[in-house]
Structure 1
Amino acid sequence: MSRRGLPTLIALILAGLWGAGLGFAHWRGNLWFLDRVEATMTDLRTLVRGTAKPPELITIVAIDDETVRREGSYPLSRATLARIIDTIEPLGPKAIALDLLLVDPGAKDTDEALARSLSRSRSVIAAAAIYPGGKQWTLAVGEGPLARVPNAERFLWPLKAFSDAAAVGVVNVVTDRTGTPRFVPLLFRAGDQLQASFCLRVAAMAAGEDPGIAPDDLSLDGRSIRTDIGHILPLTFYGPRGTIRTISAATVLEGQFDPGAIRGRIVLIGATATGTGDVFPTPFDPILPGVEVMSTAIAHLMAGDGIVRDQNVRLADAGFAVALPMLLVGLLAWRRNAIGLAAVAGVILIWFVVNMTAFLHHIWLSAALPMTAAVPPAILFGAAQLWLGRSRAQYFATQSQLLQRVEAPGLGAWLAKHGDFLSEPVRTDAAILFIDLSGFTGLSETLGPSATRELLNNFHALVDEEVTSCGGVVTSFMGDGAMILFGLPEPATDDASNAARCCAGLSSRTNDWLASLPASTASRIGFKIGAHYGTIVASRLGGEGRQHIAAIGDTVNVASRLMEIAADQKAEVAVSDEMLAVAGRDCALFKSGALRGPVETQIRGRSGSLAIWFWQSARAPQ
């Protein structure tokens, strides 16, 4: 496995394990710390979905401000509640539900009147669960189909006269930290007592049968009601207050209402008047009456149009919690550029579309869990990639600097941008210079290695600075000499004139350098330069492990031989007539020093002769 593959595999495994751990905790219902994020994301999805039309199953008879004004007080008297029920019951509702806690005794005659009205109708009244420490609810711990039903300390029952006359259901809901109702428990327990919720009692009465209880769902009227952990029913609201059909209790008492709003429907009687306190914030309305929350839950039970989050949905959430972080880490490892980031953004967009589509089809996939599972591994892996990328960039920068030192500055920069430079031989015109120190071999025998190295190092630095300033490249240093080329990496029209300027500059600077040396050293060495212009073949030579830039051809051979001729003629520079012809009369060799020629000269190892010019700088020792 590659050095890059192993860390990526480890990161993928760790991301998968992180997601699996979160997914298992979510499947067990233990990720309470994500509830606030999930609540916010659920509200956003609900708002994106927009308002929905509720089923035509329920009518709310609201004890509103007008009713309270006409009756003169709140809560309404039991006699008034009895009149409302007596007005509604003859119209044939499927069930009448009082979302009111009738726990305190009133006047005996009014209590008896309400009890009689309840007994003559198919009615449900409210009880409440009391939890230890004022908690909203507590999940029981244990095994079995009902083990995690909300466990209350006790129940607050209505007066016995009322509970004997009507069915009783528990009205508690489960809210998030903002107070928004998210779930309605369908079952409650207190010790050995198991009680149905208010909503389930009403739905069962309307369906005319008792619900069937299974480990992960309930059955009612031939339908399966999929519930979350502890048999709780997720809520999704249809819209703001009044979305579910509502009529004023005042109009009922006066008989001024449409009987069709009652006949064959479930009727909920509850308070909506200002100041009653039974209100909840929702995505659509900051003060939705509690009776409308109950109506929403009953509608879900009867129509099956609520959002579903059960163990299967939680298992799908766990799958996303494992897959999404591994996919993001894999994409970040695959491409560390804009393509990789675009792929990551694409995956997140696809996940969002899947999540939103599921929500629109009443499947409550978690948004907070995959985000929590994916974001930390992606950030940590991305940060590690950036750190490693920066380390690699620093490494390559160092290598580039080393390359610049080993290769000529121009060639090093060019090779960094053009990796295939001279991978195939190139035939081109160029100016070739050779410079060599004479007498150095004998001198090095007496100087010793350290002094010899120091001397050569200074000479090489001098040559490199001058050549670079003139636009040439040193293709190689050969001991006490150097080969210099003008025409790489790209040929230019002034290559010959630059080479001529370099000849004059090298001669002048070398003379100054020699003059700075001790007399015992300077008297034993000199230098010579050969320069020629013509066609060369440039290429990279060597194996896969190491390659170097090389220039070959007759032009190179002639330039090398011209150093010998310069030494024989007691000149500093021997330059071919071809090079001066291309450089022109304005070149540096014509403007400075002493230039003589051309002289027809025989070149060793080459047939025929060549016209050669000889140049001596004004600083040359006499």
Structure 2
Amino acid sequence: MKTSLPVWCIVGLLSIGALWAGYLSLTHVDGAASFVDKMETALLDARIHVIGGRPAPAEVAIVAIDDATVAAAGRYPLDRRQLAQVIDGVRLAGATAIAIDMLLVGPTQDDADRALAASIGRLPVAIAGAAQFSDRRARASPMPAPSDILRPLPILAAAAQLGLVNVATDAGGTPRQIPMLFDVEPSPEASLALRAAAFHTGATPSLTADGVRIGARDTPLDLGWHLSLNYYGPGQTVRTISALRLMNGEDVRGDLEGRLVMLGVTATGVGDRFTTPFDQIMPGVEILATGVSNLIDGSALTRNATVRSIDAVSAVLVSVFGIALVTFLPLAAGSIAFAALLMAWLAVVTLAFGHFYWLSGALPVAASLPPVAATIVLRQIFDRLELRRMTSARTALERFQASSLVRRIAEDPTFLLEPRELSAAILFVDLAGYTGVSERLGPRRTRDMLKTFHTIVVEEAERRGGVAMDFMGDGVMVAFGVPDQHPQDASNAILTAFSLVRAIRSWIADDRPGEPNVVRVGVHYGQVVLSRLGHDTHQQVAAIGDCVNVASRLQEVAKMRAASVALSAEVIRAAGVEGDLLTGGRQYERCEIRDADSRWTSRSGLRTTPRPAPRQARIRNRREIAVERTKDG
């Protein structure tokens, strides 16, 4: 895997990404509020909806002072004698204990207060208090430290145990946790949920380093001994009955016997209301009933120091791996792989949520997105710089190799590591009288003349798929069929030969009047070997073989016979132009050459008939060629 990013940049990005993830992770492990919490709220609600609701435990029931109860009582708050009647009905129905989620703070009529206190004293009751916090009070404590407690009326408090009803909400106002303990002088106070669960089980709760034990059940708690709520569903998922039924003396034993009862207000316009993932408006008593049910059935979300540490490690790893993916993979593939990594993590946290583990979905996302996005931007910048450099290098390379060969080598670095044999048309062209001209012009002007000549040859050749393989002073070797073969290679070579003669003569006549305007071109078709020649660190692509040698000799034939073009019989047959060569007023003669010693024989006229077969059979190692005569020859 190769990247355009320099090593120092990769090290810097990995370091910055790890530091950023580490900072967010430390904040998360310490439980400090951050922008990540808002992201987590949305992701947590999404998980809750994916997993869906579930049945609440049968051990908990709610007796609700609902709209019907308030209407029947004719007032709110209810007269405390009526409230005592409800509590007595709960006791007679066989409930194990009652948790009253109502702030009964001020006195009313003495006989009503005494009646309510008497009813409360007849069974285990936890009565609500509220912690009040002040920013002016600063105390280093692992648990919430209120500045004051709003306590129930003393006569009522004496008949019951205090339980605080405060909950911890997120930025959107959704209760997410219930503190189990509050740092109150002279001794900590328990929450109403913890008191109620203890009453129901008959066991005294004991705190551990990161949890609470009630009887034989250990429940993990978050920092500061906070219980993470795991909602069951919308309103009234926890068994709920109206207090009016108890006021009317109905038999509700089937609904309350053996159960812990949460007594609270659900009437419209009174009591506290909260937004939950399943319900836009849920009474506070149902929030507390959810917490008590979580303690009883062990379904509270596990979010403790261990889980937070897993979140922190995952955030760092996702960040580092994300940066590595978009650094070393192709940018599109790396971005897709990073997105897949985040989706995989979200799938993991969703699966874990189904087993009551609250892993952070937001922390790895928030930790990895900024550094990965920065890496993508830098990668694009360096990729563009690298592309410009490669384009510049390729342009420079194309000055030394044909563009078609450069493209092939760029696409396949192993191209021609092994020689390749193929059929090709080879064309040699040079200028007559070059030596004398160069002596008259001098080095600089000779160079300008050759550059123009070479430009004409390359442009004419590339127009028909030819590749300039070699420049030899005033001579150029062109190959047709390199690196890829085409059916028209031979005909393209012949057409190029004639177009070169016309173009070069026109150039000399226009720019260099008085100079010799004789061009010699030789063309042959046959097998060539295409390979890399040179040292391991300095190579060039070359075409070698008998075909190249013959084409070079044909150029000499054209010179010896004062002709402009010499074509081998092989290239004529391959192009299928035997008849066409005799049209257009061109002057030709047929001759033969020896492969071995290049001696020329058998001159004949333009319209000569073929030699008798016996005569041709006696001529060995010879090639038949057609020579176009120059206008002056």
| Fold shared, TM-score > 0.5 on shorter chain | yes
Residue 176 (structure 1) aligned with residue 178 (structure 2): no
In 2, the alpha carbon distance for the partners of 1:360 and 1:458 equals: 78
Return 469-478 or 529-538, whichever deviates more: 529-538
Residue 527 (structure 1) aligned with residue 519 (structure 2): yes
- Aligned equivalent of 2:614: none
- Aligned equivalent of 1:490: 484
Cα offsets for 1:129-148 (capped at 9, x unmatched): 11226x9xx9x653xxxx22
- Aligned equivalent of 2:238: 244
Offset of residue 215 of structure 1:
3.6
Residues 575 and 351 of structure 1, relative CA distance in 2, 3 Å threshold: same
In 1, the alpha carbon distance for the partners of 2:288 and 2:2 equals: 61
- Aligned equivalent of 2:529: 537
Residue among 62, 73, 77 paired with 2:64? 62
Return 574-583 or 373-382, whichever deviates more: 574-583
Residue 556 (structure 1) aligned with residue 569 (structure 2): no
Letter matched to residue 562 of structure 1: L
- Aligned equivalent of 2:95: 93
Residue among 64, 78, 81 paired with 2:80? 78
Q: How does 1:233-312 map to 2 (within 5 A)?
A: 233-312=227-306
SS at match of 2:587: strand
Residues 281 and 603 of structure 1, relative CA distance in 2, 3 Å threshold: closer
In 2, the alpha carbon distance for the partners of 1:400 and 1:472 equals: 19
Offset of residue 116 of structure 1:
1.9
Return 28-37 or 58-67, whichever deviates more: 28-37
Offset of residue 23 of structure 1:
1.4
Q: How does 1:158-237 map to 2 (within 5 A)?
A: 158-190=152-184, 192-237=186-231
In 2, the alpha carbon distance for the partners of 1:609 and 1:287 equals: 104
Residue 613 (structure 1) aligned with residue 626 (structure 2): yes
SS at match of 1:165: coil
In 2, the alpha carbon distance for the partners of 1:31 and 1:158 equals: 32
Q: How does 1:88-487 map to 2 (within 5 A)?
A: 88-132=90-134, 142=140, 147-190=141-184, 192-336=186-330, 340=334, 343-487=337-481
Letter matched to residue 51 of structure 1: G
Cα offsets for 1:103-145 (capped at 9, x unmatched): 1221222112112222233212111111226x9xx9x653xxx
Cα offsets for 1:405-441 (capped at 9, x unmatched): 4333444444444554443333333332211123323
Offset of residue 100 of structure 1:
0.6
Q: Is the 8 A contact 1:577 1:598 kept in 2?
A: no
Letter matched to residue 576 of structure 1: S
In 2, the alpha carbon distance for the partners of 1:495 and 1:561 equals: 20
Q: Is the 8 A contact 1:501 1:589 kept in 2?
A: no
Offset of residue 299 of structure 1:
1.5
Return 542-551 or 5-14, whichever deviates more: 5-14
Q: Is the 8 A contact 1:64 1:271 kept in 2?
A: yes
In 2, the alpha carbon distance for the partners of 1:308 and 1:81 equals: 37
Offset of residue 364 of structure 1:
0.8
Letter matched to residue 371 of structure 2: P
Letter matched to residue 430 of structure 1: A
Return 311-320 or 415-424, whichever deviates more: 415-424
SS at match of 2:127: strand
SS at match of 2:158: helix
Offset of residue 615 of structure 1:
1.9
Return 296-305 or 475-484, whichever deviates more: 296-305
Letter matched to residue 628 of structure 2: W
Letter matched to residue 121 of structure 1: L
In 2, the alpha carbon distance for the partners of 1:423 and 1:588 equals: 41
Percentage identity across aligned positions?
Answer: 38
Residues 409 and 593 of structure 1, relative CA distance in 2, 3 Å threshold: farther
Residues 497 and 300 of structure 1, relative CA distance in 2, 3 Å threshold: closer
Q: Is the 8 A contact 2:134 2:147 kept in 1?
A: yes
Q: Is the 8 A contact 1:470 1:498 kept in 2?
A: yes
Q: How does 1:12-91 map to 2 (within 5 A)?
A: 12-91=14-93
In 2, the alpha carbon distance for the partners of 1:478 and 1:229 equals: 83
Return 306-315 or 373-382, whichever deviates more: 373-382
Offset of residue 249 of structure 1:
0.6
In 2, the alpha carbon distance for the partners of 1:529 and 1:493 equals: 22
Q: Is the 8 A contact 2:265 2:271 kept in 1?
A: no
In 2, the alpha carbon distance for the partners of 1:60 and 1:491 equals: 88
Offset of residue 12 of structure 1:
3.6
Offset of residue 573 of structure 1:
2.3
Letter matched to residue 197 of structure 1: S
Offset of residue 346 of structure 1:
4.5
Unaligned runs of 5+ in 1: none
Cα offsets for 1:567-606 (capped at 9, x unmatched): 3332222333443344444677544463221134567834
Letter matched to residue 151 of structure 1: A
SS at match of 2:53: coil
Letter matched to residue 107 of structure 1: Q
Letter matched to residue 450 of structure 1: R
Residue 565 (structure 1) aligned with residue 554 (structure 2): no
In 1, the alpha carbon distance for the partners of 2:561 and 2:590 equals: 13
Letter matched to residue 532 of structure 2: R
Letter matched to residue 301 of structure 2: I
SS at match of 1:132: coil
In the superposition, the TM-score normalised over structure 2's length comes to 0.89
Residue among 567, 574, 599 paired with 1:575? 567
Offset of residue 372 of structure 1:
1.0
In 1, the alpha carbon distance for the partners of 2:403 and 2:581 equals: 26
Offset of residue 523 of structure 1:
2.6
Return 566-575 or 242-251, whichever deviates more: 566-575
In 2, the alpha carbon distance for the partners of 1:54 and 1:413 equals: 70
Residues 311 and 577 of structure 1, relative CA distance in 2, 3 Å threshold: closer
In 2, the alpha carbon distance for the partners of 1:161 and 1:434 equals: 119
In 2, the alpha carbon distance for the partners of 1:116 and 1:428 equals: 110
Letter matched to residue 279 of structure 1: R
In 1, the alpha carbon distance for the partners of 2:592 and 2:304 equals: 102
SS at match of 1:110: helix
Residues 493 and 170 of structure 1, relative CA distance in 2, 3 Å threshold: closer
In 1, the alpha carbon distance for the partners of 2:522 and 2:360 equals: 80
Over aligned residues, Cα RMSD in angstroms?
Answer: 2.8
In the superposition, the TM-score normalised over structure 1's length comes to 0.90
Return 173-182 or 415-424, whichever deviates more: 415-424
Offset of residue 195 of structure 1:
1.6
Letter matched to residue 295 of structure 1: A
Number of aligned residue pairs: give it.
610
Letter matched to residue 166 of structure 2: N
In 2, the alpha carbon distance for the partners of 1:438 and 1:604 equals: 25
- Aligned equivalent of 1:597: 589
Residues 421 and 166 of structure 1, relative CA distance in 2, 3 Å threshold: closer
